[in-house]
A and B are shown apart, each in its own frame.
Chain A
Amino acid sequence: MNRVWRVALYEYRRNVFKKSFLWTLLSIPLMVAFGVGSGFVLESLLDNDLPVGYIDQAGIFENAIPAPVSEREEPVEFIPFQSEEEALASLEAKEIQAYYNLPADYYETRTIEIVYSKKPAENANRQWWDFLQINLLSDQPPEIAYRTAAGTDVTVRSMDGKRSVADSGPLFGNLMPLFITMAFLALILMSSGYLMGAVAEEKENRTMEIVVTSVSPLQLIGGKLLGILAIGLTLLVTWTLIVILGVYAGRMMGIGWFQNLAMDWGVILATAAIAAPAYILVGALMIAIGTMVTTTQEGQSFSSIFVIFHMIPLYISFAFLNSPGSSLAVILSVMPFTSLMAVAMRNTFYSVPTWQVAVSVCVQTISALGAVWLASRAFRLGMLRYGQRLSWRGLFQTGQAGE
Chain B
Amino acid sequence: MHPVEVTQIAKSFGETRAVVDVSFNVRRGEIFGLLGPNGAGKTTAIRIMLNIFQPDRGEVSVLDGPMTEDKKDRIGYMPEERGLYQDIQLERCLLYLASLKGVPDQQAREKLSEYLARFNLAEHKGKKIKELSKGMQQKAQIINTLLHQPELVIIDEPFTALDPLNLELVKNVMEELRDQGVTIIMSTHQMQQVEELCDRILLINDGKNLLYGDLNEIRRRFSGHAVLIRTEDKLPELPGVKESESHNSNLKLTLMDNTSPQDVMKALAASGTNLEKFEVAVPTLNEIFIRVVEEGDAK
Contact = CB atoms under 8 A, between A and B. Distances in A.
A399 interface: yes
A386 B85 CA distance: 15
Contact of A212 (B52, B86, B101): B52
Question: What class of interface size applies to chain A in its complex with B?
Answer: 20 to 34
Interface stretch (A42-50, A203-211, A300-308, A358-366): A203-211
Contacts of A213: 50, 52, 72, 75, 77, 79
B79 A209 contact: yes
B96 interface: yes
A215 to B, nearest CB: 6
Contact of B52 (A384, A386, A397): A384
Contacts of B14: 397, 399-400
B83 A207 contact: yes
A216 interface: yes
B85 A207 contact: yes
Interface stretch (A3-11, A80-88, A243-251, A327-335): A3-11
Contacts of B12: 399
Contacts of A6: 96, 99-100
B53 A10 contact: no
Given A3-B100, A7-B100, A210 B53 contact: no
A249 to B, nearest CB: 39
A4 B53 CA distance: 22
B163 interface: no
Interface in A363-403: 384, 386, 397, 399-403
B13 A401 contact: yes
A206 B81 contact: yes
A14 B88 CA distance: 8
B100 A399 contact: no
Interface residues of B, number: 29
Interface string A185-212: 0000000000000000100011101111
B187 to A, nearest CB: 14
Interface string B84-109: 11101000000011011110000000
B97 A210 contact: yes
Contact of B79 (A1, A210, A215, A397): A210
Interface string B3-45: 0000000001110000000000000000000000000000000
A177 B295 CA distance: 74
A205 B85 CA distance: 6
Contacts of B82: 206, 209-210
B144 interface: yes
B164 to A, nearest CB: 26
A192 B85 CA distance: 20
A201 B97 CA distance: 15
B81 A209 contact: yes
A214 interface: yes
A210 B86 contact: no
A207 B84 contact: yes
B81 A386 contact: yes
A151 to B, nearest CB: 61
Nearest to A214: B100
B257 interface: no
A164 B73 CA distance: 62
Nearest to A215: B100
A400 B13 contact: yes
A190 B14 CA distance: 37
- The listed residue with most B CB atoms (<10 A of its CB), out of A1, A3, A209, A399, is A209
Nearest to B11: A401
B271 to A, nearest CB: 62
B69 interface: yes
B12 to A, nearest CB: 8
Contacts of B81: 206, 209, 384, 386
Contact of A402 (B52, B79, B84): B52
A1 B82 CA distance: 26
B97 A399 contact: no
Nearest to A211: B100
B63 to A, nearest CB: 13
B52 A206 contact: no
Contacts of A384: 47, 52, 81
B85 A399 contact: no
A214 B71 CA distance: 9
Interface in A1-41: 1, 3, 6-7, 10, 14
A214 B52 contact: no
Contacts of B78: 210
Contacts of B102: 3
A205 B81 CA distance: 9
6 contacts: A6-B99, A6-B100, A210-B79, A210-B97, A214-B72, A397-B14
Interface of B: 12-14, 47, 50, 52-54, 69, 72-73, 75, 77-79, 81-86, 88, 96-97, 99-102, 144
Given A210-B144, A384-B81, 19 more contacts: A3-B99, A10-B96, A201-B85, A206-B79, A206-B81, A206-B83, A209-B52, A209-B81, A210-B84, A210-B97, A211-B97, A214-B100, A384-B52, A386-B81, A397-B14, A399-B13, A399-B14, A400-B13, A401-B13
Task: Give 4 nearest A-B pairs by CB, closest first.
Answer: A206-B83, A214-B100, A209-B79, A205-B83
